[in-house]
Amino acid sequence: MTQKKILVADDEKDIVELIAYNLERDGFAVCKALDGRKAWELVHAEKPDLVILDLMMPAMPGMEVCRRIRGQASTASMPIIMLTAKTDSSDKVLGLEVGADDYVTKPFHVQELIARVRAVLRRSERLPDADLPESFNYRGLHIDFKSYRVKVDDRPVELSAREFKLLQFLIGHPGRVYSREQLLDRIWGDEAFVEPRTVDVHISRLRGAIEPDLSEPRYIITVRGIGYKFTGPDS
Phi, psi dihedrals of residue 163, rounded to the nearest 5°: -65, -40
Q: Is residue 129's pLDDT more than 50?
A: no
Tell me which architecture the domain covering 5-124 has in CATH: 3-Layer(aba) Sandwich (3.40)
Give the sign of the dihedral formed by CA 218, CA 222, CA 224, CA 228: positive
Phi, psi dihedrals of residue 28, rounded to the nearest 5°: -90, 150
Q: Is residue 97's pLDDT more than 70?
A: no
Global pTM exceeds 0.75 = no
| Whole-number percent of the chain with pLDDT over 70 | 86
Domain with CATH 3.40.50.2300 in the chain: 5-124
Q: Is residue 24's pLDDT more than 60?
A: yes
Q: Which fold would CATH assign to domain 129-230?
A: Arc Repressor Mutant, subunit A (1.10.10)
For residue 107, cis peptide bond before it (omega within 30 degrees of 0): yes
Please tell me the predicted confidence (pLDDT) of residue 209: 95
| pLDDT tens, residue by residue, 182-212 | 888 788 776 556 677 888 999 999 999 999 9
Task: Name the H helices within the chain.
Answer: 13-25, 36-46, 62-71, 89-97, 110-124, 161-171, 180-183, 197-210
Phi, psi dihedrals of residue 82, rounded to the nearest 5°: -80, 135
Domain with CATH 1.10.10.10 in the chain: 129-230
| pLDDT tens, residue by residue, 108-123 | 999 999 998 998 887 6
pLDDT bin (cut points 50, 70, 90) of residue 146 is confident
User: Half-sphere exposure of 34 toward its Cβ, with a 13 Å CA cutoff?
Assistant: 5
Q: Is residue 126's pLDDT more than 60?
A: no
Please tell me the predicted confidence (pLDDT) of residue 9: 97
pLDDT bin (cut points 50, 70, 90) of residue 85 is confident
| pLDDT tens, residue by residue, 205-231 | 999 999 999 999 999 999 988 889 999
pLDDT bin (cut points 50, 70, 90) of residue 64 is very high
From CA 9, how far away is CA 27, in angstroms rounded? 19
